[in-house]
Amino acid sequence: MQIAERLTKIPPYLFMELRKKIAKAKSDGMDVISLAIGDPVEATPPAVVEELCARARDPQNHRYPTDEEKGMLAFRQEVARWYKERYDVSLDPASEVLGLIGSKEGCHHFVLARINPGDIVLMTDPGYPAYRSSILMGGGEPYNVPILPGNNYLPVLADIPSDVAKRARGMFLNYPNNPTGACATKDFLDDLVAFAKQYDIAVCYDNPYAEILFEGQQRISFLMAEGAKDVGIELNSLSKPFNMCGWRIGMAVGNPDLIAAISKVKENTDSGIFNAIQYAGIYALKNEAAFINQMVGIYTERRELVLSSLRRIGIEFTPPKGTFYLWAPVPRGMTSLEFTDQLFEKTAVVVAAGTAYGRYGEGFVRISLTVPDDRLQKAMDRIVREFKTV
């Protein structure tokens, strides 16, 4: 049976391909250690799980979710409180906050809500591959904006050709950045708002790693920039700060017209987030800030382990201070794919090749810190044993 033409334009999803590769190797008896996927292994805070269980026992929550596509008002109010407390950003829960089944759906619905066939959507290179897929499925044209080490992995907005900017209707940005770990600055966000206003570009600022920051890095929201609500939205999620990836709960906040448009897409796509999960999300936002600090402490120790191990094989660099990834240069004289293939063949350790995130990812690999300590130690021991130079 012939499938829709739009799907033929979309490359295989990176993480699904990696999972297949890992599953095949394990079935062949290999002890594979994957450092390729950002999925925290530590459990969701126990009290959040208990809140879910208690709310799930209430028959009132077995019906269609409250406020369906928008998310229950109590959840949206708690999101607004969280944003005020953490970022000093004021939000109207009724018009500027929308509950999401994870922030990833927000990327997709942003395209459907804003982009017409043939419109250009700007995205960074390297960048999260799902942005490209959403743009293509929505009939848009992706345009790659390089982010390079020399610019601290921030796009140089002035380098975007004016004829491209005039055709662009949207832009995806993601800081703290997946895959590089780079963090935005307030000055950059001010420039971004001015650029978006100049060309009537709607910004979709994907911010699920907002709380995964290392010493000396301040948390930042796109909405902290003056005028940000005039030009865009921010997506956020409970997945990374509270280890709730599988729960699928997040939020879109910001421009009320975009929020309303995405809500209209949602009301014709899904029936909202299970009420019990929303209640658990409220509990997490209200009570589990200390858990974030605990997890950042764990990631800090793992980060130091990986950096010290890489130094022993001749790879030394100063990483940016966001996310639970390390964007590491490959050994001199090797491509990203050559290095990932050698790692897999010699050590059964899987990392993500930088080219999976775009052409400007060449020369790098992404290493995830979301694995148990003992498995990470074993992976580093294997790598040092095979590649040690000092």
Q: Dump the DSSP string for 28-77.
A: TT---EE-S-----SPPPHHHHHHHHHHHT-GGGGSSPTTGGG--HHHHH
Residues 184 and 103 placed together within one structural domain of the fold: yes
pLDDT digits (tens, 9 = 90+) for 107-123: 999 999 999 999 999 99
Domain end, chosen from 246, 261, 288, is at 288
Beta bridge partners of 123: 144
Task: Indicate if 177 and 36 belong to the same structural domain.
Answer: no
**Which CATH number belongs to the domain containing residue 240 in this structure?**
3.40.640.10
Together in a domain, 115 and 229: yes
* Residues 62 and 95 occupy one common structural domain: yes
pLDDT (tens digit per residue) in 204-215: 999 999 999 999
- 249 and 365 inside one domain: no
Sign of the torsion formed by the C-alpha atoms of 28, 29, 32 and 38:
positive
- Provide the residue range defining the domain that includes 63: 46-288
Is residue 290 within 8 A of residue 55, CB to CB? The reply is no
What span, in angstroms and rounded, lies between the C-alpha atoms of 224 and 188? 12
Q: Which of 288, 305, 336 is the last residue of a domain?
A: 288
Q: What would the mean pLDDT of 103-109 be, rounded to a whole number?
A: 95
Last residue of a domain, one of 248, 266, 288: 288
Same domain, 35 and 50: no
Q: Are residues 369 and 314 in the same domain?
A: yes
Query: H/E element holding 325?
Result: strand 325-329
Predicted structure pTM score: 0.95
Measure the CA–CA gap between 76 and 98, rounded to whole angstroms.
7
Interval 236-294: pLDDT, tens:
999 999 999 999 999 999 999 999 999 999 999 999 999 999 999 999 999 999 999 99
